[in-house]
Chain A
Amino acid sequence: MAATTDTGADFRTRLQTWLPKLVLSPSLAIMLVFVYGFIAFTIYLSFTDSRMLPSFGWVGWENYDRLFRIREWNVALTNLAIFASLYIVISTAIGLSLAIFLDQKIRGEGVLRPIFLYPMALSFIVTGTAWKWFLDPAIGLENTMHLWGWESFTFGWIKDREMAIYTVVIAAVWQSSGFVMAMFLAGLRGIDNEILKAAQIDGASNWNLYRRIILPQLRPAFLSAFVILSHLAIKSYDLVIALTGGGPGNATALPATFMYSYTFTRNQMGIGASSAVIMLMTIAAIMVPYLYAELKEKK
């Protein structure tokens, strides 16, 4: 090893120390250009008069000023708040319940698990129409219930301005709660059974067992679920387009649909860019503290 006289070996040792950084550097370079470069470009665009294509006339804060005067943007932000909080809470609750139940030596787990997971494999371009049908009162669930004789049954949320956003929540929960289940299940399977047995011998009830011992140990799974769900919520686009097209009216617009519409349909790229910057800042506000805590802990 310590063959410093041999220049070949010296070169090799030095290469070995440099190699890890060398391997990592292309990824870093790619990220700097394709992620951070593009983000910087978007931030710059948000201060310009860009309309159909990027242009570079500086307009200061005007786009932001306009953005917050647009009623639909406020609707989109309110919707995101409703959607994200319900989506995260419900998906987590369902995911956790399914995981706990599946963890009880269930017969047929091998069949049930892929059924719970598969929606994550499908895009809403594929399932959007089916969902739209199912939720449509004229041909979907409501109609079916009527045909089966339950005449008073009504389920017309998707047509109702006040309720439509909740149908988006239903479809979104359908898609990702199985994935959350998988994360919690993985967490549960990682818990040491000896602790549980000891607690049981001490006479702890099942309820207390979960509340005091198991759930606290699932903290990392909760965090991962929260991060994945919140980024899915903020990026939600296909879902809304496929299900409601943003309607009735603009009742189900979300920031991502707003941004796409302003940037690409309405030729107001400057405003679109400023809404993207707000979205990015929201994501950063959630992610940076998480990453900081997560990475610091590891040291």
Chain B
Amino acid sequence: MAVASPETAIRTSRITRAFIYLFLLLFALFYLLPFGIMLINSVKPLSEITGGNMIALPRDWTIQPWLSAWSTAQIGVEPTGLRPYFINSLMMAIPAVILSTVVGALNGYVLTKWRFRGDTIIFGLLLFSCFIPFQIVLIPMARILGILQIAGTTPGLILVHFVYGIGFTTLYFRNYYAAFPTELVRAAQIDGAGFFQIFWRIMLPSSGPIIAVSFIWQFTNIWNDFLFGASFASGDAAPMTVALNNLVNSSTGVREYNVHFAGAIMAAAPTLLVYIVAGRYFVRGLMAGSVKG
């Protein structure tokens, strides 16, 4: 890949530029709107929400909904707030992300630098796993988790997310490593470096952007998953999304929308943080990896 300068050489007139800025700002507004609604309403007292305009700014600011959602809101019979489930989600997401990224990186490395007969077929088989509707795996998966004696636990969930993440991570790393000069690997081989040595010394140090992509993608998917979390982890092991759903779906009683929104933002905070912190690697990683033909 030729190293292109980061921006195009296209010149545009002043009017065109004004139009472009307007267009971009309008869309920024469109993207921010739902989150804005949540944020505004999470700092309003409930009476202002039920009786007023949802887009208006609060007349009385309050952080009570946030405190309530975090530590005192009723989730099931326990008034624990979302705090313990937040920790569950972290304990589930971090190992699953790391495992699937490591395995994806190794797979990508083998599939591009140690090619053998039938490797593309194997890649195709791995890749197709990205596209199965997850609803169909619930019942057989439950049986297998039961046999492995990890049904209803965090380790069980880690396994599930690991398994269904391999396809994506392999795809990302394979496409990234495909652009990596194979000559370097061959040269290292001639110098006597082994399989893992090459991976560790040569491939990994230049894998930053794609690790970011894989991490962002996996973390977002795993953190936001509801279906597996609800089905395979129960009670004390439930992840954040399941607890949030329990908080929001009250079947009777007053709906505390402000608490719900505060809880929803908390549930979204880690993924937002990941996007903001690691986001600039994202485009860079995609650039070098997954969009190349």
Hey, which bits of chain A sit against chain B, CB under 8 A?
Answer: 1, 12, 16, 19-21, 23-24, 26-28, 30-39, 41-42, 53-54, 94, 97-98, 101-106, 110, 112-123, 125-127, 129-131, 133-134, 139-140, 143-144, 147, 174, 178, 182-183, 185-193, 196-197, 200, 206, 209, 214, 219-221, 223-224, 231, 234-235, 237-238, 256, 259-260, 263-264, 269, 273, 276, 279-280, 283-284, 287, 291, 294-295, 297-299
Docked-complex contact B114 and A20, CB < 8 angstroms: yes
Cβ of B144: which chain A residues have Cβ within 8 Å of it? 33-34
Docked-complex contact A276 and B10, CB < 8 angstroms: no
Give A223 to B167 CA distance when docked, in angstroms. 18
Docked-complex contact A183 and B291, CB < 8 angstroms: yes
CB-contact partner of A123 in B6, B124, B164, B226, under 8 A = B226
- Main SS at interface, chain B: helix
What is the total of A-B residue contacts with beta carbons within 8 Å? 276
Docked-complex contact B34 and A54, CB < 8 angstroms: no
Docked-complex contact B8 and A191, CB < 8 angstroms: yes
Docked-complex contact A28 and B122, CB < 8 angstroms: yes
Docked-complex contact A144 and B292, CB < 8 angstroms: no
Knowing A20-B195, A23-B106, A220-B292, the reply to whether A118 touches B120 (Cβ < 8 A) is no
Give A193 to B9 CA distance when docked, in angstroms. 6
Cβ of B122: which chain A residues have Cβ within 8 Å of it? 24, 28
Residues 241-291 (chain B) with a chain A CB within 8 angstroms:
241, 244-245, 248, 257, 260-261, 264-265, 267-268, 271-272, 274-276, 279-280, 282-284, 286-287, 290-291
Docked-complex contact A38 and B131, CB < 8 angstroms: no
CB-contact partner of B110 in A24, A34, A114, A140, under 8 A = A24
Question: Which one of B58-66, B78-86, B132-140, B200-208 contacts A?
Answer: B132-140
Give A94 to B26 CA distance when docked, in angstroms. 12
Knowing A37-B140, A130-B261, the reply to whether A121 touches B128 (Cβ < 8 A) is no
Cβ of B38: which chain A residues have Cβ within 8 Å of it? 126-127, 129-130
Cβ of B130: which chain A residues have Cβ within 8 Å of it? 231
Knowing A94-B27, A98-B27, A115-B28, the reply to whether A41 touches B286 (Cβ < 8 A) is no
Docked-complex contact B33 and A134, CB < 8 angstroms: yes
Hey, which bits of chain B sit against chain A, CB under 8 A?
Answer: 1-2, 4-12, 17, 20-21, 23-24, 27-28, 30-35, 37-38, 53-55, 103, 106-107, 110-111, 114, 116, 120, 122-141, 144, 163-164, 166-167, 170, 178, 192, 194-196, 220, 224-227, 241, 244-245, 248, 257, 260-261, 264-265, 267-268, 271-272, 274-276, 279-280, 282-284, 286-287, 290-293
- Main SS at interface, chain A: helix
Docked-complex contact A189 and B37, CB < 8 angstroms: no
Distance in Å: Cβ of B179 to nearest Cβ of chain A: 10
